[in-house]
Chains A and B, each alone.
Chain A
Amino acid sequence: MMFGYNGKILHVDLTEGKTWIDEHDTVWYRTYMGGRNVALYYLLKEVPADADPFAPENVLVFAASVITGAPVPGTSRFTVAAKSPLTGSFGESQAGGWWGPELKWAGYDAVVIHGKAKKPVFLWIHDTQVEIRDAEVLWGKSTGEATAAIREELGDPKIRVAGIGQAGENLVRFACVVDQGRHTAGRCGLGAVMGSKNLKAVACRGNKRLPTANPDYIKSFAKSFAERVPKNADTNQLHQFGTSNYFANANAGGALPTRNWNQAQFEGAEKCSHEAIHAKLHVEHDRCFACTVRCKQVISAEKPYHIDPIYGGPEFETMTSFSAICGCDNVYAMCKAHELCNAYGLDTISTGATIAWAMECFSKGILTEADTEGSKIVFGDHEAMLKSIHMIAKREGFGDLLAEGSAVAAKKVGRGAEQFSMSVKGQEFAMHEPRSKMGLAYHFALSPTGADHIQAEHDGAFDPNLTGYTHKADTPSFFMEQVYPLGILEPVPSLSAGADKARMFFLLQHHFSFMDVLNICVFTTAPVRITTFDEITKIVKAVTGWNVTFWEIMKSGERGMTMARCFNLKHGLTAKDDCLPERMFTPAKGGPQEGSYIPKETFLDGIRLYYEMCGWNGNTGVPTDGKLVELSLDWLRSEMRDKR
Chain B
Amino acid sequence: MTIKGGVKVSVEISGWLKSYFAESSMCAVTASPLPEAIEEVIDQIFQRAISTVPQGGIMVTINGSRADKLIKNEYQLQDGDRFCLIPIVAGG
Contacts and interface: CB of A to CB of B under 8 A. Distances in A.
Interface of A: 231-234, 236-237, 240-241, 243, 245-246, 248-250, 252-255, 315-317, 431-432, 437, 453-454, 457-458, 460-461, 463, 465-469, 477-479, 493, 522, 528, 591-594
A467 B36 CA distance: 11
A593 B88 contact: no
Chain A CB within 10 A, most for which of B15, B38, B54, B69: B15
A253 B88 CA distance: 8
Nearest to A246: B92
Given A468-B57, A477-B57, A460 B90 contact: yes
Contact of A453 (B14, B84, B91): B91
Nearest to A231: B54
Residue with the greatest number of chain B CB neighbours at <10 A, chosen from A431, A460, A478:
A460
Given A233-B16, A253-B86, A465 B91 contact: no
Interface residues of B, number: 32
Contact of A460 (B19, B57, B65): B57
B91 A478 contact: no
Interface in B72-92: 84-92
A457 B14 contact: no
Main SS class of interface, B: mixed
Contact of A469 (B19, B58, B68, B89): B58
A389 B19 CA distance: 36
B55 A249 contact: no
Contacts of B58: 466-469
B19 to A, nearest CB: 8
B54 A236 contact: yes
Contacts of B19: 237, 240
Given A236-B54, A249-B16, A593-B66, A468 B91 contact: no
A249 B89 contact: yes
B89 A255 contact: yes
Interface in B1-53: 14-16, 19, 35, 38-39, 42, 53
A250 B89 contact: yes
Contact of A432 (B35, B60, B91): B91
A248 B14 contact: yes
Contacts of A246: 15, 89-90, 92
A469 B56 contact: yes
15 contacts: A232-B54, A233-B54, A252-B59, A252-B86, A253-B86, A253-B88, A253-B89, A432-B89, A457-B91, A465-B68, A467-B42, A467-B59, A592-B64, A592-B65, A592-B66
A254 B39 CA distance: 22
A628 B82 CA distance: 55
Contact of A249 (B15, B35, B53): B15
Q: Is the interface of A mostly helix, strand, loop or mixed?
A: loop
A491 to B, nearest CB: 10
Contacts of B66: 254, 465, 592-593
Contacts of B67: 465, 467
A454 B91 CA distance: 7
Contacts of A252: 14-15, 59, 61, 84, 86
Nearest to A595: B69
B15 A466 contact: no
B42 to A, nearest CB: 6
A233 B56 CA distance: 6
B85 A457 contact: no
Contacts of B56: 233-234, 468-469, 478
A249 B57 contact: no
Among B39, B90, B92: residue with most chain A CB under 10 A: B92
A378 B80 CA distance: 39
Given A465-B66, A468-B42, A592-B64, A528 B90 contact: yes
Given A249-B16, A253-B59, A468-B58, A458 B42 contact: no
A497 to B, nearest CB: 16
Nearest to B15: A249
A240 B18 CA distance: 13
A477 B58 CA distance: 12
Given A236-B54, A467-B60, A461 B42 contact: no
Nearest to B62: A592
Contacts of A250: 89
B63 to A, nearest CB: 9
Contacts of A317: 92
A437 B89 contact: yes
Contacts of B39: 467
Nearest to A295: B92
A252 B65 CA distance: 10
A467 B38 contact: yes
Contacts of A522: 91
Nearest to B64: A592
A243 B16 CA distance: 11
A466 B54 contact: no
B18 to A, nearest CB: 9
Contacts of A240: 19
